[in-house]
Structure formats: structure tokens, C-alpha cells
Amino acid sequence: MFPFLIRRFFQSIPTLLLASVLIFFVISLAPGDFLTPARLNPGISEQQLANLSATFGLDKPAYVQYFYWMKNLLHGDFGLSFQYTQPVLPVIWPRIVNSVYLVLLNLVFFYAIAIPIGVYGAVRQNSFGDKAVNVVLYFLLGFPSFFLFLIVIYLILNVRNATGWDIPLGGMTSGNYDQLSSSGQFWDVLKHLLIPALVLAVTDAASLTRVIRGLMLEVMRSDYIRTARAKGVSERSAIWKHTFRNAILPIVAGIGGLLPAAISGAGFVEVVYAYPGITPMLLTAITAQDLYLIAGFTVISTILLIIGNALSDILLAVVDPRIKVG
Amino acid sequence: MKKALFLALAMTATTSMAAPFVYPAAWTAEQNTANKRGGEFRNSTISDFKTINPFTSAESPSLPTQMSDGTGLFTQDPRTNEFIPDMADGPAVVSNNNKRFVVKIRPGMKFSDGQAITADDWITTWKIHTDDKVGSNTYDNFFLNDKPIVIKKINDMTLQFDFPAQSSKALVLMSYTPWPDHIFGKAYKAGGAEAIKKMWGVGTNPSEIVSPGAWTMESYKAGERAVLKANKFFGEWNKDSKGNALPYLDKYSYRITGDVNAALAAYLAGQIDTFAPRNADDLAQIKKAIDAGNLKAYLKANVSPQAQSSWIVFNWNKSADTAKQTLFRDVRFRRAMSHIANRDAMIKLALGGLGTETYFSTYPIFKSQLDAGQKAGAPQYKYDLAQATKLLAQIGYKKKNADGYLVDAKGKVLEFNLATNSGNTTREQLGQIFKDEAKKVGVKVNFTPIDFNTLVGQLTAKGENRPFDAILLGLNGGDNVWSFGQNVVPCGTNLHSYNNPTDGKCLTSQEQLMTKLYYQGDAELNTAKRLAIGGTLMKTEGELQAVIYLVGNSFHVTFNERVGGEFPANLMDAYYGTRSNPLTFIK
């Protein structure tokens, strides 16, 4: 195990270097820079634009900017965000934490919906229930989640108007959050998270449902399941203990990808729901060409992806006795 | 000891005798007769606040700007547009050919931490804003044509401003917000610009933030909500007409919605108190909610034009394509293009019927300047396809080819490329309408929306061969004292976008005249005379038609009925807004 991790660590260095070069120069290739909107301001003189360019280091060529950034990165300094004029890490950290809450709750719902439906689809293959669920899930899968969410917000507004219930319309906390007790605060956040997490989980569930259904069907037809059934194990045990455990191996292999996904936020739903996650911040940063904020966040995602892949390999060795790391 | 005691007594005496700034009763349509106090005004904003630092902030709305509500040596009275003393104890004493202003500071003013506001605060603030390593957004406000404005402390309560030239904007430029010397001055002496830049990020503990204005920070939740609380010392020197301390409210908060539709939903649900309707759709939704009894709100459409413009500019610097360069430099061609712009259709189709036709760089909201322009005989080349056809024939485009496009004697089609920024649906519609109308007279317009940054790069490029034919874009910003852009009108400036050669020289006599008139008007202190100079400038600008102005949006007002204290309807507009926050209260 230890040699495996050491080897992985050294392999990741060139990967990260190459990724950092790509990240930095792809962002730099975009037309204009952080000061472009300022150039359209009738009140900002050329002298001032030159001052700002020098202040942000934008007057230097891209490769020089890259080497400065890299040098700082080696000291754990991700640079300054242009917009916030603050170090990148403390700026993005609270937003990442918010996104993690939403993504984790979404994952709980996601697996809670996809696994039972996938297993049901395999066990009751081509039944009316199987087909009906598939139709609904496929329909939702083809819907852009942010658009579906706009419809959900419209429905919530109507329900609010009709009933007077205080269903959250967006955000992560209510206006009186600071005055609530700890349990009240917990419930307040959960209340705000429930709807976006659920809507996201339902729209995304179709893909995993199909995968589980397919894998289950494949395993159910194998000899050892037939043997197990012949030995007289209960149907429940045959499905969950023998079939499901073997069927989810490919899914376990993909779990490592959840690590960067967890900090990457829930996408446009965060924007539509006015949720203070990382997505709205990143979108603003991209529009504003806040170079170091985007680059810093992308580097962190890349590191997490590398760690996640290593974790996947270890997990796979744990659940599948045929595989060994080392 | 004796001396200290005497000083303390003297200071107490001056504080208690100091006259407060009294907010005129006429600034509100709804007097707070019962002196209702407390409560929260809930506003919203689209994107996360980036900083609380007044020296590095470059956004709008911004926390430092909101906190500094009710500050500045002078403030503009929305009834008359005149400047009245606010943090100043009286009018400035003017000498040295209107270039020196000596201002006494109103005694008894305090920051939110209880420290007295003195001349040092103005001096330190000026020093930090003008340090080019800080990168302050208001750096330019302390210079006139690249020459510095010099500020001197005469004593603790007196300031002297020396301007390098006479300026009509002197009172505007002097009215910057003083930030605490005991916080920023100390940091600046110790660590210079770098130390200043690191201060007051959004992660700073709100208790460390000190404000001279009506509000100070209470809490900030990243990406969610910023809550400001009333500065309890503000009420000592700011009173309503009955002598009650201001502001009435306890809190002023911003909910960060991330998206305008989310803000509208929150407004319709009664979760925020105000919203800026963009178009007829927004207005219809709000009206529907009011009619259904789900929302009790004030709603008024078309309150005033917005302080913004949209225009098409043709590039005069195309040395690689002399035929086009000659065409774009021909005033008859540009006037024909103005005749092609169907502004009425643009308002109806692109702005949902809610907008104003524009013909000048002056925004329609600055009515007195527009009136002066019309008095000076500033021309308007209105929608008239027949007139456009006639002008194009004069240039030599008399025949049409098989496709219906005008051709010159050599058979070359009259065509040009027009770009705008992609994603701006209104501008895309304006461009499309222009293109369709141009087709009617036989002009081929290749209209393409492109990336915003690329577009701005093209527009602000310098040289003899700049990389565009025509661009459709807009500008906003400016004030109603002298409403012409310092980076737009004079030759060689950044946004003099029709003619921007390497040496920055004017090409036409009209440009020279406009440049001269710009500086002349900027220096004229007499309002009537200044408006007249502006009128002449508008006449020259209109005749030259270097930029074809199209249409402007309208400003609409809506707010929840739970809040009172808004301006009387005749004072509301896009420039002054809807209300004075210190006079706002919860009914």
C-alpha cells in the first residue's frame, strides 16, 4: 500500500505541472483581460488604466505571469483574486463548503433514488413499473436542470401565494438565521437545501439507474447466483448480498470522481436558486477574467481528482478480492 | 491638566452647539410624523460583494458606497441640482480665480467607532486614493487633465483645495467620503499601498469596520447576505426636519441573488423590498402579483429615462481599406445611417415600448442640457428612408444590383460589418432592426454579435488601421453638472472611438471645436452659461454625426408598501433614485 501511494505521488507531479500550464494559458488565451470593462468607463483615464495594469501584473507577458504564479504556488500561495483583492483560498473556501453541503445531500438522495429503482428494474425487468419509471426519468434527464428549476421556483411561488407556507425560494439561510438556536439554524439550512438537492437528484438519477439495472441483470444471470439460489438462499439475500455487491464494483471505481465533483458545486442550479455555492462565483470570475481565482480553483480540483483516483483504486481493492494495490 | 480640562470643556461645548445637517422635509413624500424607528430595508444585488475596502472597491452597488450614505462635504439637492453643504459647515470660500476653495468642516461629526471626523481623514483618504500602487477606482477624481488637485489641512476643522484649473465639477470632486485616518493612516504609514490593499476584505470581522456614513457593517455571509446596521453616531449630526436623529431604520441589508430572475421571484414573494424592473415582462409580473393581492407594492413605469446610451460608431481609421475609410469619413453617409435607424421600432420591439429616442451623447435624463441643445439648434437626423436614399445617391450610390443592394459606379456593393457584444439581447435586437431597415434602402449590413472583450479591444484600439467597420455598444456613467465624457469628447482619449490615430490628433474642425468646448464647459461655473456651451457642443456633435445615437431604456420604480419615506414622485429619476435612505422608515 505505502509504495503504491509513493509511486502515485511522484506520478502526479508531471500531471499537475502540465495541468497548471494548460489551465493558465487557456485562461490567458481568452480575449481581453480583467480590466476590459474598465476601458469602457468614460471616467477612467489611460493613466489610471496603466496604473491598474501594473498593480495586477497584467502589463507583463503571460509566461512571466505564469512563472510568478508557479513560484508562489510552490509556497502554497494561490495568488490574489483581482476582484476581491484578497488571497484566493480564503475567498473560495466558504463557497466550497456551501457547495459540499448541497452536493452531499444531493448524493444521498441520488443514491437513495437510483439504487432501489435500478435494482427494481432488474428484478422486475420490463414490467409496467419498470417502464413507467424509466419514461419519467428519461424525460427528466433530457431537461436542463436549471430550466426545470425555474419551473420549480414558479411552482413554489404559486404554492406560497395559495397557502401562505414559507417555502424557501433560494439562498441557504433565512433572514433571521443569526437569531436562531443551533438546532434552528441546522433545520433552516436543511430546509433551504432540500428542494435543490432533491430536484437535482431526480433529474440525474436516470443515468445511474440504467447502469445499475444493466449490471444487476448481468450478474443475476451468472452461475454463482444460480448456485446460490439452488442452495436455497432467500430471494432478498440473492439480490442484495450476492448480486448487488458484485454489480456495484464499476460504480465503486467511479467514486473517486466524487471528490472534485463535491467541491465543483451543483452547477447552474446554484445560480438559479441564488445558492451561495462555488458555481455563481466561478461564473462571475470567468466573466470578469479573474485569472488567479479560476486557476487556483482549477488546480485544487485537479489535485482532488488525482487523490480521488488513488482512493478509487484502494476502494476497489477493498471490495474486490481479485484486485491488489502495490 | 487645566489645559486638558479646558480643551475637553471647549470640545463638549462645540459638540453640543454644532448645527446638524437637516434633511429637508421636501425630500420625502411621506413624512415620518410618528417618528417610527427600527426595522430593516431589504435590498438585493446580483453578484457577491467583493470587498469592504473603499480604496480598492470597483463594483456597483458596493458596501463602502452604501456605508458612506450621507457623507461628502456637499450633496446635490434633487429639487434644484444645486450643491448644499453636508459635511461642510457652510459654503466654500472661493478665491484665486475660482481655483482655491477653503471649506470649514461641520463640527461634532463622528465615525461609527465614536472618533471625531477631522481634516486629517480627508487628507489621508486623498493620499491613499492618489497612490497609483493602490489602484483606486476614484484615482482620476483627484486630477484635472492629468494635473493634481492639491488638498491642504489648514487646521483640524478646515481644508483648502487648490485646483490646477477652474472646474465646474469642483464641488463634485471635493465631495468624496473621508475614511478614518486612525485606521487607514496608521496602516498606510506602516505598510504603504500593499498594506492598504489587504485591508477590509469580505472576510474581515464586521466589528473592525469603521464608517463615517449612515451605515456600518453588521454581518456578511459569503454569497448570501450583507447586513448593514445604522451608525449610532450619524444621528448626532443628521436630523430630520423635526429634529429627530437619522437614519430611522436599524438595518439595511442586501440579499445576493446571483440572478435577476431570482431577485424578481424574491420580490414577488415579499422577501425583498425593492426591485429594478428591466422591461415590460417584469412590470407585468409585478402588476399581476399586486392585482391578485399577493403583493402590496408601489409600481410606476417610465419614471424617467435611464442614464445610459446606445449607439453605432463608424471607424475612420482604415488605412488598409481606403474606400471604406473615405465612406465612413463622409458626413453624408453617417447622416444617412442616422436616417436609417428606426428608433421608434427599436423602442417598440427591443425595449417593449418603454424607452426614449436619442440623438446626442447627452442622456435624455439630463433634460436641462437637452433643452439647451435644442435651443442651440442641434440637429436630429430622424428616421427617414427617402432622405437616406437621397444622401447615399449624392455619394454615388444610385443603382441597385440584382440582389437589391446599392452599388457604386464600379459595381461595388455598399456594405459594412457591424458588431455588438453577444449575449446582450437588447443590443442584438437593435442591430437586427438596423440591418433590416438598411436592407430597405439597399445597404448591406453584415451584423455579427461577438465576444464582449474582443469588441472592447477593437473599439479602444489606437492606430491608422483599426480592426473594425462599425460597432453597436452603449455607455453609462457621468453626472448632471457637465454631462459630457472626459474620455469621449476630446480627441486622443480612450473612447473617442470614431477617430483614434496613433498621434491622437483631431481630423476635422468639428472635433477641434468639440474638444475646445468640452474644456470650456468643464471650467464654466455659471450653470446657464455652461448649459449654453453644452448646447453648442451638442449642435457640433449632431452635425458631425460621428456617433449615431439610437435609444435609451426607461427607469421604472417599484417597492414594497411596508416601507415609507420615498421621494415625491416628481423627484424620482434614474439619476437621484427613489429615496434618501436615511429618511426611509418601516410603516
- Tell me the three cell numbers of residue A182: 443551533
Predicted pLDDT of residue B17: 52
Average pLDDT of the segment spanning B21-39: 92
pLDDT, tens digit (0-9, with 9 covering 90-100), for B271-287:
899 999 988 889 999 99
The H or E element containing residue A48 is helix A46-56
Cα A20 from Cα A66, distance rounded (Å)? 9
Query: B268 contacts in A (CB within 8 Å)?
Result: 157
Query: B483 contacts in A (CB within 8 Å)?
Result: none
Between A57 and B195, the more confident residue is B195
Instruction: Name the closest residue on chain A to residue B497, using Cα atoms.
Output: A40
The region of weakest confidence among A68-77, B304-313, B412-421 is A68-77
Predicted pLDDT of residue A84: 86
Predicted pLDDT of residue B288: 94
- Read out DSSP for B156-198? TTEEEEE-SS--TTHHHHH-PPPPPIIIIIHHHHHHHHHHHHH
pLDDT, tens digit (0-9, with 9 covering 90-100), for B432-464:
999 999 999 999 999 999 888 889 889 988 999
Share of chain B above pLDDT 70, in %: 97
The H or E element containing residue B75 is strand B74-76
Instruction: Name the closest residue on chain A to residue B494, using Cα atoms.
Output: A46
Cα A189 from Cα A275, distance rounded (Å)? 11
Predicted pLDDT of residue B5: 41
Q: 3-state class of B370 per DSSP? A: helix
Average pLDDT of the segment spanning B160-173: 94
Between B248 and A208, the more confident residue is B248
Average pLDDT of the segment spanning B298-318: 94
| Contact assignment for B51 to A49 by CB distance below 8 Å | no
Average pLDDT of the segment spanning B425-435: 94
Cα B581 from Cα B297, distance rounded (Å)? 18
Cβ-contact A270, B258 below 8 angstroms: yes
pLDDT, tens digit (0-9, with 9 covering 90-100), for B142-155:
998 789 999 999 99
B415-421 and B444-450 strand pairing: parallel
Cβ-contact B415, B462 below 8 angstroms: no
Q: Is the pLDDT of residue B167 over 80?
A: yes
Interacting residues of B255 by C-beta distance below 8 A, sequence separation 6+: A171, A175, A274, B42, B43, B44, B45, B224, B225, B263, B266, B271, B272
Q: Which residues of chain A have pLDDT under 50?
A: none
Query: B488 contacts in A (CB within 8 Å)?
Result: 42
Average pLDDT of the segment spanning B107-135: 94
Average pLDDT of the segment spanning B226-243: 94
Query: B221 contacts in A (CB within 8 Å)?
Result: 172-173, 177, 276
Predicted pLDDT of residue A77: 84
Average pLDDT of the segment spanning B86-98: 94
| CB nearest A41 (choices: B262, B263, B477) | B477
Predicted pLDDT of residue B9: 39
Q: Any alpha helices (H) in B361-424, and if so which ranges?
A: 367-375, 385-395
Predicted pLDDT of residue B13: 39
pLDDT confidence band for B327 (50 / 70 / 90): very high
Task: Report B:224-243 residues touching A (Cβ under 8 A).
Answer: 224-225
Q: Is the pLDDT of residue B510 over 60?
A: yes
- Read out DSSP for A166-231? ----SSSS-TTGGGS-HHHHHHHHHHHHHHHHHHHHHHHHHHHHHHHHHHHHHHHTSHHHHHHHHT
Between B247 and A13, the more confident residue is B247
Q: Is the pLDDT of residue B422 over 70?
A: yes
The letter for the amino acid at B50 is: K
Considering the entire predicted model, what is its pTM? 0.83
What is the nearest CA distance from B198 to chain A, expressed in angstroms?
6
Q: Does B450 touch chain A (CB under 8 A)?
A: no
